[in-house]
């Protein structure tokens, strides 16, 4: 699904970063509970690792739900 969306994301003057979260797309799928907590924590940990204090995040599928439901708590 991401491959179909990426070509339509504007890149003029902005930096973009595209990821597949656990269990989605071509990413690793560990045995765990897949819920908004997992995806929210993955995004928060990635932002900490990259030392990003803020970002505009666009999500599709389950990530969209995680962003709208939980990501404002970080």
| Furthest C-alpha separation in the chain | 39
Predicted TM-score (pTM) of this structure: 0.65
Q: Which long-range contacts (CB under 8 A, 24 or more apart) does 13-17 make?
A: 17/50
Residues of the chain with pLDDT under 70: 1-3, 24-27, 61-74
What local confidence, expressed as pLDDT, does residue 71 receive? Answer: 61
């Amino acid at each position: 699904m991401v491959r179909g969306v990426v070509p339509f994301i504007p890149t003029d003057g902005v930096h973009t970063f595209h990821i597949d979260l656990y269990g989605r797309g071509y990413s690793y799928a560990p045995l765990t509970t897949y819920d908004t907590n997992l995806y929210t924590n993955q995004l928060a940990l990635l932002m900490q690792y990259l030392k990003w204090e803020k970002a505009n995040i666009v999500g599709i599928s389950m990530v969209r739900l995680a962003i709208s439901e939980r990501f404002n708590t970080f």
